[in-house]
Amino acid sequence: MRRRPEYGETWAYESIIGALPGVNISRGAAIAIQLLVFEVSLLGLAWYYALPDIIVPGTAAVAVAAAGSAEMLRISGAARVPETPEAYRRLLFGSSVEVVLSVLAFIAFVTHLFVFDPGGGPLVERLFGMRPPTLVVYLTLLVMWDLCYRLGTGWWAAIVALWRSATYRFDPETAATLRRADRETLLFGVIQLVLVPFILDFPVLLAALLGHVTAVFVVTTASLALLRWRETG
C-alpha cells in the first residue's frame, strides 16, 4: 500500500513543486509544463538570434531532462513503499546528497564552457560565436543545470540502491518493487545516451557522460544482483 510522501522523503525537485503556494498540479502536468517552457524558449531564441544549429541538440537536452523528471518520480514511487527501510528512504531523499553531486557536476560544466577547452578557445565561443547572445547562454545554463541535477540524482540513486541491497534482506514482493526502482535507475542512465551524437566533437563532455552512464550501470547491476541473491523466503 502506497502512502502520501512527506517532506524529507521527496527529491528536492518534488519538494519545490509541492511547496509552491497556490499551485496544485499533477506530476505529469509539471513535466509537460517544464518541457513546453524550455522548448518554446529554445525555438524562440533560435529564431530571434538566427541560430538554427542549436534546435536539434537543444531539443534533445530538453527531452532528456523531461524524461529524467519522469524517471525520478518512478524511482521515488517504488522506493517509498512502506515496506522499505526508513534508513534507506532517509538516505535517498533526506540527505540532499544528490544536490551536492549536481552542483559539482554543474560547476565542472561551467568551468569547461567558459575556461577549459583543449580544442582552443572557450567552448561557449565555439558553440555560439565570439559574442554569445546573453539569453541563449542563460537558457543553456538553465537546461544544463536541469540535466546536471538529474545526473546527480541518478548517480545517488544507484549508490544508495547498492548500499540498501547489501545491507538489508527483503521478501519477494518488496524485492520485486525495489528491482523495479533499480531498473528505472538503469533506464535513467541509458536515456542520457541520447546526447552522445551531439557531443562527439567534445571529448571532455563525451568522457564525462559515458563515464557517468557506465558507473550507474555497473553499480545498479550489482544492486540488482544482490537483491536477487539475498531475497528471503
Q: Where are the beta strands (DSSP E) in the chain?
A: none
Specify the pTM.
0.87
Question: What is the reported pLDDT for 49?
Answer: 93
Q: pLDDT means per 10 residues in the chain (233 residues)? A: 52 61 68 90 95 93 91 88 88 88 94 77 82 93 93 94 94 92 93 94 92 96 93 76
Report the C-alpha gap between 160 and 89 in whole angstroms: 9
Residue 222 has φ and ψ, to the nearest 5°, of: -65, -40
- Map grid coordinates 546536471 to a residue: 148
Q: How many CB atoms within 10 Å of residue 148?
A: 22
Compute CA distances 208 → 29, 30, 212, whole Å: 31, 29, 6
Question: What is the reported pLDDT for 119?
Answer: 60
AA identity, residue 6: E
224: CB partners within 8 A, 6+ apart: 165, 179, 182, 183
